[in-house]
Each structure stands twice: as C-alpha cells, then as structure tokens.
Structure 1
Amino acid sequence: MPRIAIGGFLHETNTFAPTKATYEDFVSGGGSGRMLSGTEIISELGHVNGAISGCIRYGQQQDWSLVPTLFAATSPSAHVTEDAFERIAGDIIDRIASAMPLDGVFLDLHGAMVTEHLDDGEGELLKRLRQKIGPDVPIVVCLDLHANVTDLMFRMADVLESYRTYPHVDMAETGLRGARALSRMLGGDRPAKAMRIAPYLSAIAWQCTTAEPARELYAKLAKLADDSHDVSFNMGFPAADFAECQMTVLAYGPKADGVADEMLAAVIAAEPQFCGKVWAPEEGVAEAIRLSGSAKGPIVIADTQDNPGAGADSDTTGMIRAMVAADAAGAIGNLYDPEAALASHRVGERGALTIALGGQSGVPGDAPFIATFAVEALSDGNFIAAGPYYRGKKMSMGPSACLRVGRLRIVVVSAKAQMADRDMFRQVRIEPENEPILIVKSSVHFRADFEPIAAHLLTCAAPGPMAVDPKDLPWRHLRPGIRLGAMGPAFKTEDII
C-alpha cells in the first residue's frame, strides 16, 4: 500500500484589499468551512467539489494508505498574516515529516497566496517541505486556475495540476488528475517539465471558460493533455502586487517543451479577446430594467468589484444605491454586515430598523447606506448549497436576514462567501427565479448556478477593491514590461508615483 500524505492550505490574496486573513479566519474558515485535521479531512471533504476530494476518492479506490494532515482555507482577502502562515505551514510540514517514510505527498493549494512577510506563500511552503522530506518523495500540488505560479513553486513540485473551468466546477476532477499523476510517479519516474509566462495580465471578469477566448483555449489544452502529458493554463489572479503575478502555461511529459510552446502561442494570439462590456451602476440598472420588461427570467448583474471571492469585503453599497434610486425591483446578495444581521434578529421578522448598512471597508467612493429597512426573513445561515460550484458544501453564513428597502431585497450575512449559489438567496426565503433583477457579489463563479435561469447577464463596476480592469490598480512591484490587462499598457517602474 503506497503511503500518501494529503493536506491543504488555500488563500487567494488581493494585496489591494482592505482586510487581512488571520489565523482565526482559517480556524473558522469563513465561507470556506472550518479548519480540519487528521481523519476529519476524509470524512468532511471526501464528497465535496474540492481537489483534495478527488485525491481522496482515487486513493480509496487504489487502496492507498492516506495520511491526512491539516486542511485550512478561508475567504480571499488581503495578505495572510505572518502568524497565520507560520502556524499553519509549520503544522502541515511537521505532520508530513512525522509521517515519514512516505511514498508521495498530495497538497491542495490555491497558488496565489501573499503573506505579510512573503510574496510567494506556496513556494515557501513547498521549499520548506522539500527540505524536510528530501528530493526523492514525489510532490503533486493541485492549484486554482487563478494561481500566480512562481518559479519556486514550479521547481519544488514534481507536478502542478490546475483547474480547467471557471466557474470552478472541476475541482474534484482536478484532484483526480493530480492523484493519477502521482500514481504514475510512485515507481520513481518523474516527468520532464516546462513552464512558460504570458506577456499580459487578463481581467477575471473575462476569464469565464464557457465563453471565448477561454473556452477555445481550454479545448486546445484538453487535446494537448494526452495520456503522456499533464498540461495546465493558469490565468492568474491579477490583484497581487509582486513580480510573479502572471499567467502561466505548465506542461509535464516527454514533449513538455513543445507542448508548452504551442499552448503559449495560443494564449498570446487570444489576447485581444480578453475584453468585455462594463456598465456603470446607474446605466447597468437602467439596462436591466429595460431588458426585464420582456425577459422570461431574471436579469443577473455581477457586482464584480466587490467580489469576496477576489478579496473584497462584500459590503459596498453602490449597486444598492443605483437600484433604490431607480425604484427597481429585485434582490442583491450577499451584503456582509454582522452588526446589521444581529440587529435584524433583535427586531424580529416583520419588524423594521433604521441603520447605516454596509460601506464599512473604507473603499473610495463608497459609504454606508442609511435607510429604514423592513425585516422580511431571518436565518441562522446554515444550509447545504446544491449548485455546481459549492456542490454539497455545508455553508455557515452566520446570522442572516432579508432586509427590504423600497422594492429591493438585500441578503445580509455574518460571514463572507461569494454569491455563487441560488440557495444563498433561498436561505432567507428569496426565490431567485421570481426576481426581475438579481445582483450578485461575484465575477464569474455565479454563472455556474445562475446562468441557467438568467435571461441576460451584465457586469457592473460599482466602487470596490477588485478593479475590473488591471490597469486601474496602483501597481508597484510587477515585472517590468508585462501588459496591464489585455492590450493594456506595459508596466513601467518609472511610472510609479
């Protein structure tokens, strides 16, 4: 029986975001689920949509002796604190080292972690792990499609296997591919590998793999990834201000260099297509009202710049203001405001309260929305998400409420998680299919569950920390010459103010 250590440490870091990730955030998990250790990992994560889940299932089928260590994740935010990184990374490495001898290591990482003291959290973790277990034990790492893959990550791991869908509906499948790659290495045969870096950043709003150009690029990748080759294209997370924030192509196998070159050429040729239409809040709401007059389903608006899945605090009020000003009917979620949620519970259903809602993050151009709200529904925030992104995950949003102002319903929650599942509305008795306009604090993941009911999709840019266009961010540390978005200007250190 091969002895395989498994674990996970996931964080997507927006270095421009307002709030850091502490050790306590990883313990509670926010919208990502609490920290797990030992056999809890297998019992809690064996059947959800996660990379570690795919490895668990494969390992059980192959009669591997799985050695579960630690699994920690929390919602995207600003930097991971030094304390959190050192405690969690140290715990994972110590558990793996104490389990030696091992035949392999499988880790579920994000690939875009920046800490208070390290630009490359995953690379540092893997380097320290290598120093502990030596060069002979194969390490396979599964990454998010938005990983900013660094040279250190590439060198320290034998295979980096990444998601191929955005919305991420193939996380478990990616874990399965990674486990198969590890299985092929158990006999000691490590593959040749190649890494290529694209010359531009792409905005996450236009990275959806069910639309062009990503759909065609990943179709090409699937053809290149034959029985002899593992291939990944990481579109990167374009809100991490360090030199290796970048899109990358990875290839493993006998013809790794040629495969990587061919895939990179396709990525470069697709650059002009990584663009899209962005609406100002008032214009987007006006267009949604116009479209809803004849629509047979909701008009779904992505409040992309306040996406908690990209490090925002999910509490800006720009889209609320636009909807109320237009007297538009619809619903918006999730608005993160624990104090407002608790106040709603104190008042009770059918009560009313006058409060300053949201707007606590200090985002330029944003402010709390002061109004009298009707409390329409209350919830403890616990439910199981049924959509294809969260896929059976136990969600814990904390005390939650549906507040109404005018004809707008607002889902107020006490934990941050991207609005990517219709059950996030239903948990406070909002039926999303019945709303003329739905506003979701998400960029792309919402498409997995909302696109089937949407008559039209719009992207709006209300004030928020996740700029829809990379050129609008105050970069200081990027690699000189990389273009700030598709067809965007090149980054120049002399332009730093």
Structure 2
Amino acid sequence: MHRIAVGGFLHETNTFAPTKATYADFVHGGGWPAMTQGADLLKVMRQINVGLAGFIGEAETHSWELVPTIFAAASPCAQVTEDAYERIAKLIVDGIKSALPLDAVYLDLHGAMVSQHFDDGEGEILRRVREVIGNALPLVVSLDLHANVAPDMVHHADALIAYRTYPHVDMANTGRAAARHLALLLREGQRFEKAFRQLPFLIPISWQCTNDRPTKGIYERLAALQSEAVPTLSFCPGFPAADFAHCGPSVFAYGRTQADAQAAVDRLAALIENHELDFDGRIYAPDEGVRLAMELSKNALKPVIIADTQDNPGAGGDSDTTGMLRALVRNKATRAAIGAIYDPASAKAAHAAGVGATVTLALGGKSGIEGDSPFEATFVVETLSDGKFVAPGPYFAGRGMDMGPSACLRIDDIRVVVSSHKAQLADRAMFRYVGIEPTEQAILVNKSSVHFRADFEPIAEKLLICAAPGAMPADPASLPWTKLRPGIRLKPQGPAFIAPYSSQLHSNAIG
C-alpha cells in the first residue's frame, strides 16, 4: 500500500484588485469549501467539483493510504497576506514532514497565487515541500486552467496537470488525472521528461471559454496529442491580472523522452499562436448592453444574460460595483435581476427592516473602484435569507454555500441579490436562495465572466458581455503593468510590454 500525503492551497491573485486575502478569508472559503484540516479533509472532500476530491476518489481505487494536511482556498482578490500564506504553507509543509516516510505527495494548487512577499506563491510552496521530501519522492500537482505557470513550479514538481474546461466543470476530473499519472510514476519507478513554453501574448479571460472556438478546438487537439509517449499535456491560458514576470499563457508536457515532450509542446504552442487574433470578441458598454438585452427580450422565451465581467469576484472583483444596476434602472428595464452585490451593511439593514419594508440605502460601491460609487435609492425588501444553500449546478456541483445574511431588494421592476459574503454568481441557486426564479426573468445580470455559463447557458436566449467599472478589466492592456517580462503582448496582437524606466533602473542597480 502506497502512502501519499495530500493537501490544497488555492488562490487566484489579481494584483490590481482592491482587497487582499486574509487568513479569515481562507477559513471561510468564499465560493470554495471552508478551511478543513486533518482527518476531516478526507470526509469533506468527496463528491464535489474540486481537484482534491477527485484525487481522493481515484486514490481509493488504488487502495492508497492518504495522509491529509489541509485544504484552504479563498475567493480571488489581491495578494495573499504574508500572515495567511505563512500560516497555511506551514501547515502543509509540517504535515508532510510529520507524515514521513511517504511514497509521494499530491497538492491541489491554483497556479496564479501572489502573496505579499512571493510573486510565485506556488513555486515557493513546492520548493519548501521538495526540501522536506527530497528529490526521490514523486510530487504531483493539479492546477487551474488560469495558472500563470512559472519555471520554479515546473522545476520542483514531477508533474503539473491543469484543468481543460472553462467554466471549470472538470476540477475533480483533473484531480483524478493527477492520481492516474502518479500511479504511473509509482508503477514504473521513473520520472518523465519535461517540456515547458510560455506564450507571447496575454489572453483576456472572457475569450478563454472552452465552449467556444478557438479554445474549444485547441483543447480537442491537445487531447489528440497525448499518447503513451506523452501521457499528459496541458495548456494554461493564464490569469492576465497578476503583475509579475511569469504572468501569461503556457504549455507544458511530460514525455518518455525529452524529444517526445518538446515535440508535443511545440505543436500545441504553434497552434495557439496561429489563433492569436481569434482570442477577441464584442464587449458592450453598460447602457448599450442593457438596451440590447431589452430589445432582444421582447420576443424571447428565455432570459438574456449579461456578464458583469469587470466586477467578477472570481477574478478579483469585490462584487459590489453598481454600474450595471445603474444601467438597468436608467433604462427602465423590466423583469430584471442582478446578483450578487456584496454589501454586508445593506444586508443587515434589510434584515432589520423586515420583509415588505422599504429601506433607503447607499448600496454597494464601497471598494473604491474608479468610476464607481454607492447607489443611493429606496428599495422594497422582498425576501430575506440566512445565505446557506446548496449550489447543484455543473460548476459548484453540489457545494454547500454560505453567502451570509442576504436579501432580495426591489427597485421598480428590478431585483437585486444582496449578500454578506462574495462568490461569483455561477449557479441558478444563487438567485433562487433569495426567492428569484431566474427562468422567469427577462434579463439577468451575473457578476461573473465565464463560469456562469455552465449553469445559465442552457436557459439563455443570448449571452452578452458588458464592461462596467470593476477590478478585472476586459482588456488586460488597460492595466498599469510594471513587472511583466519584456516583449509580451498585453492582449492578442496588442502592444508589447516595455518595463517602466524606474523598473529598468532598479534592475540595473541589482545587476
């Protein structure tokens, strides 16, 4: 029986976002399961769409003995605080150290974590783990499709295996794939050769969706390139809002020989670069998008769904900007709903007032985003909720959610989901838990970029993407980059990054 230490530490860091990830954020989890340690981890991480859950399920088919450390994840936002990083990393590393002797280690990581003191958060964790286990033991990692893969991550791990869907409906499947690859390593007793390439342009997240081309076709080709000679191949489009040198897309493979791995990486990278211009699409201004949705809804049998992409809490937004709500009110939209606006103070006021009461609020707009402010208006409190429910759709896949005290507020014929915790609106249950039936609305505005499509595309008349003020610009070229690697294009066929003069002076001084 093989003895495997397991753990998870996930955060997608938007270094331009307004709010940092504290230890308390990891304790709660946001849209992720709450922090879990020790034996409870093997009980909680089952039958849900998380990489570690998939690994545990597959490990049971091999009769492996699993030694759990910790699972901790938080909603995307700005840098992980040094306190949170060090406390959680210590629990992982100390847990692995105390579990020795081991046959292998598996970690469920994101791949785009930046802390206050480490640009490559995952690379540092893997370095510390490798220092404990030595070079002989296999170390296998599952990664998010949005991982900004850095050389240290590739160096320290025996295999990095990334999701292949966005919306990420295959997180658990990726954990299973990691377990199967680890089984191969343990059976054969030898490592595979690695190949890794970073690509020369940033890809906006709205055009990374694997339901659409070109990404759909790229992943189909990726699957075809895998073989007995190259058992695993990954493409990470990256998370284009982390200001450090290794932000961006990458391809990596593990082969029987270096030539096998390199050939697979070269073929896939060439295909992606040939599609550079295809990673683009139409983004609407708020009023433009709402007016189009109102026109389309006149003859529609299903709701028109708008992605409020720049305030996506799954990409670092605080889920509290009011640009899309203002556009709905300004254009007198009817049978419309928007969610979820994160505002604990307004949720508390609604609960104090009670169902049926009217409340005058300064709703949302508290994260300091340029061009945004609280929306001051009088609302009717339609329903109240404690915020606890199960999200059964394909993305959350039965995950228990806790949005904290919440309310459905109505202004005119527009309903607003107001929550005390934030998570991107990627499941129909995130409207239903405050009494809004999404299929009965003419227009739905979701604070999400792509994940919502897993559960909402089947009920949508049309999907639109709008750019109201928020922390995650639809166009990465608009961000004030300072630390990218020189020459990378800031969007498909966009301008190349040139380091600011002050950064160049700093680099020269260090050299």
TM-score (norm 2): 0.96
Equivalent in the alignment of 2:490: 484
Q: Does 1:185 align with 2:185?
A: yes
Q: How does 1:339-378 map to 2 (within 5 A)?
A: 339-378=345-384
Q: How does 1:72-471 map to 2 (within 5 A)?
A: 72-187=72-187, 188-228=189-229, 229-254=231-256, 255-329=260-334, 330-471=336-477
Q: Is the partner of 2:409 in helix, strand or coil?
A: strand
* Counterpart residue type for residue 21 of structure 1: A
CA offsets per residue over residues 313-348 of structure 1, 9 Å max, x none? Answer: 000000000000111020000100011111111111
Contact map agreement 1:52 1:172 (CA 8 A) in 2:
yes
Equivalent in the alignment of 1:64: 64
Contact map agreement 1:13 1:79 (CA 8 A) in 2:
yes
Q: Output the CA distance in 2 between the equivalents of 1:39 and 1:295.
A: 51
* Counterpart residue type for residue 39 of structure 2: T
Contact map agreement 1:476 1:496 (CA 8 A) in 2:
no
Deviates more, 1:245-254 or 1:301-310: 245-254
1:186 deviation in Å?
A: 1.1
TM-score (norm 1): 0.99
Q: Is the partner of 2:383 in helix, strand or coil?
A: strand
Contact map agreement 2:405 2:420 (CA 8 A) in 1:
yes
Gaps of 5+ in 2: 504-511
Q: Is the partner of 1:252 in helix, strand or coil?
A: strand
1:46 deviation in Å?
A: 1.4
* Counterpart residue type for residue 281 of structure 2: G
Q: Output the CA distance in 2 between the equivalents of 1:496 and 1:430.
A: 52
1:55 deviation in Å?
A: 0.6
Q: Output the CA distance in 2 between the equivalents of 1:349 and 1:415.
A: 20
Q: Output the CA distance in 1 between the equivalents of 2:97 and 2:103.
A: 12
Contact map agreement 2:426 2:452 (CA 8 A) in 1:
yes
1:270 deviation in Å?
A: 0.8
Q: Output the CA distance in 1 between the equivalents of 2:61 and 2:323.
A: 50
Q: Output the CA distance in 1 between the equivalents of 2:304 and 2:253.
A: 40
CA offsets per residue over residues 228-271 of structure 1, 9 Å max, x none? Answer: 42000000000000000010001011210100100000110010
CA offsets per residue over residues 115-153 of structure 1, 9 Å max, x none? Answer: 001100000000011111100110000000000000000
1:494 deviation in Å?
A: 4.4
1:227 deviation in Å?
A: 3.7
1:226 deviation in Å?
A: 2.5
1:164 deviation in Å?
A: 0.1
Q: Output the CA distance in 1 between the equivalents of 2:227 and 2:35.
A: 36
Q: Is the partner of 2:348 in helix, strand or coil?
A: helix
Q: Is the partner of 1:231 in helix, strand or coil?
A: strand
Q: Output the CA distance in 1 between the equivalents of 2:502 and 2:417.
A: 40
Q: Output the CA distance in 2 between the equivalents of 1:72 and 1:176.
A: 19
* Counterpart residue type for residue 210 of structure 1: N
Q: Is the partner of 2:314 in helix, strand or coil?
A: helix
Moved over 6 A (4+): none
Aligned length: 497
Contact map agreement 1:46 1:57 (CA 8 A) in 2:
yes
1:30 deviation in Å?
A: 2.2
CA offsets per residue over residues 177-233 of structure 1, 9 Å max, x none? Answer: 100111111142111110011110000001000101100000001111224420000
1:496 deviation in Å?
A: 7.8
Q: Is the partner of 1:72 in helix, strand or coil?
A: strand
Contact map agreement 1:475 1:496 (CA 8 A) in 2:
no
Q: Output the CA distance in 2 between the equivalents of 1:454 and 1:6.
A: 39
Q: Output the CA distance in 2 between the equivalents of 1:227 and 1:57.
A: 24
RMSD: 1.0
